[in-house]
Structure 1
């Protein structure tokens, strides 16, 4: 394998890399000294811990007023670009991603709130579905031009949704606020690279995210509301694929507990697959629980299974 001489030098002597990173960290501290920067980060911390948006004066100035978002992001760019130009091997301390059309830089995060820069490259975009999540979002458009639609979910019944749309032209200086459980911004065409500063806060106890077909309104997909729930769902699936019948009682206990309904329902399915007796008794128990959001689903599945396999009734007697 060929190794560039500059890379080989860095591998043999890490001092230049450490020095470059110290300069990059200094850029972060320099930006924090800019007027309003520390107040913005303090407000983000309070907002992430549940403070009302209207009680966070700097966030209001950035995402409702004019000029503050542009000024602070211009200062951020100046400090980091200067540091990186002088130290090209330094790494900005931000999580980032790019998929060829969209890029994201996570500037700061606290509890339920995130502050990020979002960019879209020029081009046309096709959207087969609309995604809704249990969160609130504020966008401050910093640069670029794009044509978009605000899609509002006006009703939902039995996994079928109806939408209303509002066409918008995105330009620098515009400010938007969204309740993402019912609103989403769909970008159809970008004429000049679109850059926006975004503030996102998830609900304290979020419901699962949902994607609906743009053409029919039919629900296509449901995703875990949080990383923790996603991790638990993965563990449940792994135990099921491993055939861990000894885990069935603990999985059934998870289904009985309160909390995320999608996680509980997956636990029901895994308990049934691992141990039909444990799983079927669990179905009957949940079906009899008045007020449990899983009661109707559990009762319907129990009736369906009894119709196909009448012998399952003996499991509840045993």
Structure 2
């Protein structure tokens, strides 16, 4: 393997790396000392704990007026770019992702809220579907030029929505507030690099994320709204792959008692796979509970299993109490 001489030097002597990160820390402190920066971060903590945006005057100013967000982000760029110019191997302390066309940089997170900078490079951004989540979102468009639409939905049944779109050209000055449970911003074409500051806060007890086909309005995917729920789903799937039939009663309890629909469905499916009697009786019980949000899906799966596997007919009659 060829190793660049400068990288090899860093492996022998790590002091330049320590110096570079010290420069990043000085940049962080210098930016936070700028007027309004520390107040913004302090208010992010209150906002993340549930305070209204109107109770956070500096945050509200960023996302309702032009000028303040631009000033603070320009100062942030100035401090960190100066540090990188002097120490190019430094790493700014922000989580960043880039897929070749769009990037996201997480500036701060507190409680249920997060503050990030998002960019999109010039080009076309086609979308076949939209994903909605139980969250509030505020955008401050800082620079760029793009064609976009605010897409809104209203329910048309358990697994379908009506979709409408409102065209919104972006010119670098917009301030946008979105209820992400029923609306989202879809960027279709970027003419000049689009840069936005975004504030997002999840609901205290969020519903699952749902993805809908833009053309038909049909629900195409549903996933957990929180990292904690996703982690539980992954553990349940692992238990299924390990063929741990001894956990079937606990999976049945989760399917019956937990609130998150996605987690309950994952537990129910794995319970059926691990212990057909325990799982099918739990499925039948949910299907018969009219006010259960899983009743329709459980009823459809029950009918499918009864048709495909006749032995479940006998099982239901003998083992599953009405």
- With the shorter chain as reference, the TM-score category is over 0.9
Aligned to 2:292: 292
Cα displacement (A) at 1:289: 4.6
SS in 2 for 1:236: helix
Alignment of 1:190-269 (within 5 A): 190-269=190-269
Q: 5+ unaligned residues in a row in structure 1: which ranges? A: none
SS in 1 for 2:254: helix
Aligned to 2:319: 315
CA contact (8 A) 1:286 1:295 kept: yes
**Which shifted more, 25-34 or 285-294?**
285-294
Aligned to 2:42: 42
CA contact (8 A) 1:130 1:213 kept: yes
**Which shifted more, 282-291 or 116-125?**
282-291
Give yes or no for the alignment of 1:16 onto 2:33. Answer: no
CA distance in 1 between partners of 2:286 and 2:255 (Å) = 9
SS in 1 for 2:222: strand
**Which shifted more, 25-34 or 210-219?**
210-219
CA contact (8 A) 1:284 1:298 kept: yes
TM-score for the superposition, normalised by structure 1 = 0.95
**Which shifted more, 308-317 or 56-65?**
308-317
SS in 2 for 1:181: coil
CA distance in 1 between partners of 2:263 and 2:74 (Å) = 43
CA distance in 1 between partners of 2:126 and 2:6 (Å) = 43
Cα displacement (A) at 1:202: 0.8
CA distance in 2 between partners of 1:296 and 1:4 (Å) = 61
CA distance in 2 between partners of 1:50 and 1:262 (Å) = 25
TM-score for the superposition, normalised by structure 2 = 0.94
Cα displacement (A) at 1:287: 4.1
CA distance in 2 between partners of 1:66 and 1:298 (Å) = 50
Aligned to 1:100: 100
CA distance in 2 between partners of 1:284 and 1:158 (Å) = 20
CA distance in 2 between partners of 1:294 and 1:221 (Å) = 15
Cα displacement (A) at 1:225: 0.7
Give yes or no for the alignment of 1:137 onto 2:137. Answer: yes
**Which shifted more, 232-241 or 14-23?**
232-241
SS in 2 for 1:232: helix
CA deviation vs aligned residue, 1:181-216 (integer Å, no higher than 9, x gap): 111111111000000000011111111111111111
- Give the root-mean-square deviation of aligned CA atoms: 1.5
Q: 5+ unaligned residues in a row in structure 2: which ranges? A: none
What number of residue pairs does the alignment pair up? Answer: 317
CA deviation vs aligned residue, 1:47-98 (integer Å, no higher than 9, x gap): 0011111111111110001211000001000000000100001100000000
Cα displacement (A) at 1:158: 2.8
SS in 2 for 1:157: coil
CA distance in 2 between partners of 1:209 and 1:301 (Å) = 22
Aligned to 1:122: 122
Cα displacement (A) at 1:246: 1.3
Cα displacement (A) at 1:252: 1.2
CA distance in 2 between partners of 1:70 and 1:201 (Å) = 21
1:121–1:223 Cα change, 3 Å? same
SS in 1 for 2:156: strand
1:288–1:164 Cα change, 3 Å? closer
SS in 2 for 1:27: helix
Cα displacement (A) at 1:290: 6.1
CA distance in 2 between partners of 1:153 and 1:288 (Å) = 30
CA contact (8 A) 1:280 1:315 kept: no
CA distance in 1 between partners of 2:166 and 2:290 (Å) = 41
